[in-house]
Structure 1
Amino acid sequence: MVRTAPISFRIEQGLKNALEEAAKDDMRSVSSMVEKILTTYLREKGYLPKGAAE
């Protein structure tokens, strides 16, 4: 099992509402949705190699 690291940050309420809706539509937790979004972004920008953080 992969070890995870906690992270905490604040966002505007409207952004949180949109995130919760997206997570629900994708049948994910908010945490899982944030991880998916970050992983996709970081791969597209070349900061995260393919196969990492899966």
Structure 2
Amino acid sequence: MFIVDTDVHNYWSSAEVLLPYLEPYWRDFLVRGEKPGPTGSFPHGHRPWLHPEGF
């Protein structure tokens, strides 16, 4: 029996290196930060416009 590890970890200098390869919809999604996860993560999870009061 053979086991193959297919878990891939990509390390980019920043998320912006992906922008030229994304369709406009996904490019906007990345730029606006509408992804799940904590602030400072990749992909970024914060939505400053959703909670303008800083909640």
Give the TM-score range, shorter chain: under 0.3
Q: TM-score, normalised by structure 2?
A: 0.24
Give the structure with the higher percent helix: 1
Structure showing greater Rg: 2
Q: TM-score, normalised by structure 1?
A: 0.25
